[in-house]
Structure 1
Amino acid sequence: MSHDQHGLAMTGASAAAVRHYDRAIDELLHFRAEVDAEAGAALAESPDFPMGNVLAAYLGLLTTEVEDARTARVRFGAFLRRIDESRLLPRERAHVAAVRTFFEGDLLTCGALLGEIAVRYPRDALALAAGHQIDFFTGDARMLRDRIGGALNAWREDDPHFGHVLGMYAFGLEESGHYDRSEEVGLRAVELNGRDVWGIHAVVHTYEMQGRFGDGLRYLDARLPDWSAGTFFNIHNWWHYCLYSLETGDVARVLGIYDAVLADGQSCMELLDAAALLWRLHLEGSEQHERWRALADAWPMRVAEPFYAFNDMHAVMSYVGAGRVGDAEKLVAGREAYVARPRPGVTNHDMTLRVGLPVCRAIVAFGRGDYGAVVDLLHPIRHRVNELGGSHAQRDAVQRTLLEAALRSGRREVARVLVSERISVRPCSPYNWLKQAALADALGDGAAAAVARGRAGELSGGTVGPAE
C-alpha cells in the first residue's frame, strides 16, 4: 500500500505512479495543462491504480465538454470491469461512487458524496478541488465557502498546498459576499504561492464585486507574469481584466485584448468568456459583427447535445450576436424537447428547465428587439439565476440584459428598482451611474442625468462613456 503526498493511503500504484499522481494533483491545483500528461503517466505505470483512474475521470468531466465526458466514461467503465471494487479502500470506493453519479449527470449527489469524503479525509485535495468545481458549476455559493472552510483546520501552514486551499476558500467567501475576508484570505493564498491563479482569481472577483476596478487593474498588472501565461485559466483572468477596462470605458483596450487572447479560445470555458465579453458590448450598442461570426462558428459541435445549460446560454449569445437568430431558436427548440422528457436526478435537466431556457429565450427576444418579452422572461427568475452555475460576475451578463431591456421597453419602474439595487451595492461603478443617467433621460430629468454622468466620469477618471 502506498500514500499520496498528503498522507492518504492508496492501492494499486507503483512508486512511479504515485509520483506522477502527486505531480498531477499539483498541476491540477495550479490549473496547468500538464495535469493531463501526469495523470496519463500515472496510469501508464499502473493501469488499474484506483485514484489515478478517478482523477482521470474527474478531468474528463470537469471540462464541461461532451466529448471529453464521453471518452472518460468509456475509460472509467473499462477500469471498473477489470477490478474487484470490494477490494478498494473506503476512500477509493467513495470516489468511485462519486464519479458514477457525475457520469449519470447528477452533479448535486456527486457534490454531496465528495463532501462526505472531505469530512472523513479533509486532506484529500482531489475531493476538495473536484467538489469546489461542482459547487461552481451549480452556483452553490454556500458550499463553495463551507466545503473548503470545513477542511481548513486539517491543513498546516507549511503544507505546500495550503495556499491553494486558501485560494479556493477565498473564492467561496467572495461568492458568499464576505468581501473583506475574501480579500484577506486571497492575498494570503497568493503570498504563499504567487502562481496560484485561482487565488489571484479570487482576489480579482472580490474587487469586481465591490466595484473596485482600479484596484483590480493595478493588482493584475502587478502580477501579470503569474497569471497571464502557462495555465488553462489565462483567458478567464484576461476576461476579468477586460471587465475592469469596460468600467473605464476603454473599449479599444478591451477589443485589443479580445483579438490577442480571447478570440482564439478552444474550450467551452474560453468560448463562453469571449461570448460574455462581446455580449456586454452588444448591450451597449457596440456591434462586433466579424468577431461574433467567428465565435458563433465555434459553438455548434459543442452544444450539439444537452450537457451544461451555462454553455448553452453563451452559445445562444454568440448566435444572436452574429445575427444567426435562426440557429439560436433551433438550439432553444432542441432544449425544449430535451426537458419535455423527465430525467430524474439529471442536474442539467432541471437547470435547463428552471433557468437555462428562460434565459436563452430572453437572449433571442433581445436579438429580435422584443425587449418587453425579455423583461417578462428574466424578471421572475432574476433571483435564482445562480442555479445556472458560474459566478456572480459571469451571471451579471443576465442581469445587465434585464436592465437594458427594461430601459428599452419603457418599463421604468422595473429599471428604477434594478438601478437602485446596483448603485446601492456598488456605488463606485461607472456602469451603474451611466444606467442611472439613461433612466433619468427616459424620465425627462436632464439635470439628474447630467449629475449621474458626471459621477460616472469622476469614478472612471473622466474617460467613461458609451461603448463605441
Structure 2
Amino acid sequence: MILVTTDQHGLAMSGASGAAARHYDRAIDALLHFRVEVDAEANAALEESPDFPMGNVLAAYLGLLTTEVEDARTARVRLGAFRRRIDESSLLPRERAHLAAVQALLDGDFLTCGALLGEIAVAHPRDALALAAGHQIDFFTGDARSLRDRIGGALSAWREDDPHFGHLLGMYAFGLEEAGHYDRSEEVGLRAVELNARDVWGIHAVVHTYEMQGRFGDGLRYLDARLPDWSTGTFFNIHTWWHYCLYALEAGDVGRVLAIYDSALADGQSCMELLDAAALLWRLHLEGSEQPELDERWRALADAWPVRVAEPFYAFNDMHAVMSYVGAGRMGDAEKLIASREAYVLEPRPGVTNRDMTLRVGLPVCRAIVAFGRGDYASVVDLLYPIRHRVNEFGGSHAQRDAVQKTLLEAALRAGARDVARVLVSERIGVRPCSPYNWLKQAAVADALGDRAAAAAARVRADELVRAF
C-alpha cells in the first residue's frame, strides 16, 4: 500500500513519512524565503524517506537552479539513481509530471521544463514548488510575460490568509515589473512585504520597480528602512546589496559603492554572487574608474571564475566571467573561454537551451566585452547594436542586462558613432528621465555634436537629480 500524505498547501504526496513531509514543508518555506536552510531541510526529508518522490524532485531543482555546473552534475546523478530504484507508474500524476519537468531541466531544456511546470500549475495552482521553480526558469530565460502570467494565473487559487500568499505576491510583483507594469508592481510588491516583512523577493521586486522608474532616492530610502529584513539570513543578501550599489552609482557615490563591494560582494562564492560583483565592477570600468585599487578586486574575481565556467552551462554566467577576465587584463583567458563556447555551439544539441542562448546572444556579448577591453569600440557597436532588443534571450533582469546596454552606449560614444549614441540616449531618457546617468550621457552626446549649450543644460539637470536624492 502506497503511503500518501499532504503538503502544507493541501497537495497529495506519496512515499513520505510524517517526518519527511514536515521537512519538505519547511524546505519549501525556506525556498520561498531564500533561506540557506532549504538544502538541509530537503536533505533531511530524504534521510527520513529516501524514495520520497517530491523530496527527490525538490533536491534536483535545488541543484539545478543555482546554475552551478557541479551542483547540476550531482543532481543528475542523484535523480538518476532515484529513478532507477522506483516504479514510476506507481507515482501520483503530479509527481510524474514533476519528474518529467525536472528531467527536462537536467537535460538542459529550460523551455520544456518551464512549459511542463506551467501545465502543473494549471492543474495544481497551489503547487508552490512548481510556481517557484517555474518563476526561476522564466528568469533564466528572460521571459517577462511568463514571469508575470505564470504567477498571475495561479493567484485566484490562493487566499489572503495563506501563509505563503505574500510570497506569491512577491513573485507576481517581480513579473509585473519585468513586463513593464511599474505602478501595479509597486502596489503588489509593497503588499507582499506588508504581509511578510522578510520576503526578500518581494523587497527585491519593489527595488527593481524603483530602478526601472529612475526613482533611485526612493530605492535607497526603502532599502535603508528595511535593512534588518533583507541584509542577513538569506542567500539573497549580496544581490540586494548590488541593487543598493546601483542606486549609489546613480548618485555618483563611488566611495560608498566600493565600501559596500568590499564588505558584502568581494567574498562571493556562488555564480550568482560572482556575477553581481563582476557586473558592479564593470559599470565602474565603463565610467573610467581605473584607480589602482580596482586592480586587486578584478584579480580576485577573475581567479574565482575558471572552475565555474570550465564547461558550458549558462551563457549569462559566461558573460560575467569574461567581464572579470577583461577587467583583470587577462585577455587570453577571455579569448580561451570564447573559443570553447564557439566549439560548443558547433555541435548539434537538440533541446539544449543554453546552446541557443550562447549562439544568439552569449557569444556576441562576450566578443563585444573583449573588443571593449582592447579599445576596439567600433566592433563593440557592430556586435551589440543588432542584438540590443533581444539580449533578454540569455536571461537575467532588465537591471542586470543594462550592463550590456551601457557597454554599447559607451562604445558608441568612444567610437564616434554619434547618431547611434544619440538614439540610445534618447531612448533611455524617454524611459527614465530621472536618471543622472542618462543626462550625463546626453551631455556627452551634445559635446560630440558640438552643442555646448545642450551639454551644459544636460549636466545641470544631472546635478539637480543627484541633489534631489
* Smaller-chain TM-score bracket: over 0.9
Partner of 2:327: 321
For 2:60, the aligned partner's letter is A
Unaligned residue ranges in structure 1 (runs of 5+): 464-468
Partner of 1:80: 83
* Aligned ranges 1:132-281 → 2 under 5 Å: 132-281=135-284
Report runs of 4+ in structure 1 exceeding 4 Å deviation. none
1:10 match: secondary structure:
strand
Structure 1 residue 447: Cα displacement? 1.4
Partner of 1:352: 358
- Alignment of 1:103 onto 2:106: yes
1:343, 1:208 → 2: CA distance?
37
Please, what TM-score do these two structures have when normalized by structure 1? 0.98
For 2:113, the aligned partner's letter is C
Offset from partner CA, 1:345-401 (integer Å, 9 cap, x none): 000000000000000000000000000000000000000000010000000000000
- Alignment of 1:410 onto 2:413: no
- Alignment of 1:335 onto 2:341: yes
2:257, 2:422 → 1: CA distance?
29
For 2:220, the aligned partner's letter is L
2:154, 2:466 → 1: CA distance?
41
Offset from partner CA, 1:80-125 (integer Å, 9 cap, x none): 1110000000000000000110011000000000000000000000
Cα-Cα RMSD: 0.7
Offset from partner CA, 1:214-255 (integer Å, 9 cap, x none): 000000000000000100000000000000000000000000
Identity of aligned residues (%): 87
- The equivalent position to 2:18 in structure 1, one of 15, 33, 37, is 15
1:221 match: secondary structure:
helix
- The equivalent position to 2:309 in structure 1, one of 303, 310, 319, is 303
For 1:64, the aligned partner's letter is T
Partner of 1:466: none
2:266 match: secondary structure:
helix
Structure 1 residue 462: Cα displacement? 7.5
For 1:10, the aligned partner's letter is M
For 1:105, the aligned partner's letter is G
Partner of 2:379: 373
2:103, 2:262 → 1: CA distance?
40
- Alignment of 1:453 onto 2:459: yes
Partner of 2:47: 44
Partner of 2:442: 436
1:329, 1:444 → 2: CA distance?
38
2:332, 2:213 → 1: CA distance?
38
1:307, 1:52 → 2: CA distance?
24
1:444, 1:281 → 2: CA distance?
27
For 2:243, the aligned partner's letter is H
* Equivalences, count: 463
1:261 match: secondary structure:
helix
* Aligned ranges 1:377-396 → 2 under 5 Å: 377-396=383-402
For 2:156, the aligned partner's letter is N
